[in-house]
Amino acid sequence: MYVRNACFHLSDKIQRGRSMEEILERIAYCIEFGKTDKASPYPPDMKGLDGADELTRQALDGGISPSDILTRALTVGMEKIGIKFRQNKVFVPQVLMSAKAMNMAMQHMKPYFRSGEVKRKGTFIIGTVVGDLHDIGKNLVSMIVEGSGWEVIDLGIDVRADKFIAAAREHPGCVVGLSALLTTTMVNMETIVKQIRMEVPGSLIIIGGAPVTEEFRANIGADFYSPDPQGAVEYLNQLIS
């Protein structure tokens, strides 16, 4: 199998002039299938092989640019798992494993974000609206959006309008995401949308959650609704294309 033949040290591969594309593909594969590091037993066919943690470090040491690693490996892997999730080909546990692998790789990328060598696509602020304590859907969106190259500011659960407004003011030009899982709390979205519109004019607002619909979005004046995380990513990426 392709992956089983990849157990040699990655920096050696680069030094021998092997394809950079193949290296980036391998990192993307680790993200897609949730191979966090060498010690991880998951997925079984990659047991004992380097994962996203080791491969990202080796790629950087081997001279691959952080920007290429982000856009041509990490983002690609998260996009693939996001599409699979939309199509019901994978489920929440697999997405969480992919996100964990992505986070391991991102630890090596943080210095390059701080220095400005690698730039984020933009800032996405997200929170579960006031009265709602559910966070799985919000967390999935946060992980997949971050993996697509956006900076994510996660405000948590039970978030009031004033907290969304303060974060939007602190990050001009950001996009705001509102999540709700209950029909009893989705109604709070309308109040929050109106207050954000009043206090931070021009803000773009995305809504989502199990009871939310496109009709509801239109009624409360939000800018976009998606039933799945990948839809939110595609909308965000369209904003900067």
**213-225 pLDDT tens trace:** 999 999 999 999 9
Give the span between the Cα atoms of 163 and 236, in whole angstroms: 22
pLDDT beneath 70, residues of the chain: 1-18
Mean pLDDT of the chain: 91
Q: Which residues of 174-202 are buried (b: 16+ CB within 10 A; e: fewer)?
A: bbbbbbbbbeebbebbbebbeebeeebee
Superfamily of domain 123-239: Cobalamin-binding domain (3.40.50.280)
Domain boundaries, the chain: 3-115, 123-239
**CATH of range 3-115; options 1.10.1240.10, 3.30.930.10, 1.10.10.410, 1.10.1060.10:** 1.10.1240.10
The pLDDT of residue 2 is 39
Q: Which pTM was predicted?
A: 0.86
The pLDDT of residue 18 is 53
Side-chain-side CA neighbours of 177 within 13 Å: the count stands at: 34
Q: How many helices (H) and strands (E) does the chain have?
A: 11, 5
Give the span between the Cα atoms of 37 and 219, in whole angstroms: 46
The pLDDT of residue 8 is 39
Give the span between the Cα atoms of 212 and 229, in whole angstroms: 14
CB 14, CB 63: distance < 8 Å:
yes
| Long-range contacts of 60-64, Cβ-Cβ distance < 8 Å, separation of 24 or more | 60/108, 61/11, 62/10, 62/11, 62/13, 62/14, 62/15, 62/23, 63/14, 64/14, 64/20, 64/23, 64/24
**176-208 pLDDT tens trace:** 999 999 999 999 999 999 999 999 999 999 999
When computed from its CA atoms, the radius of gyration of the chain, rounded to whole angstroms, is: 19
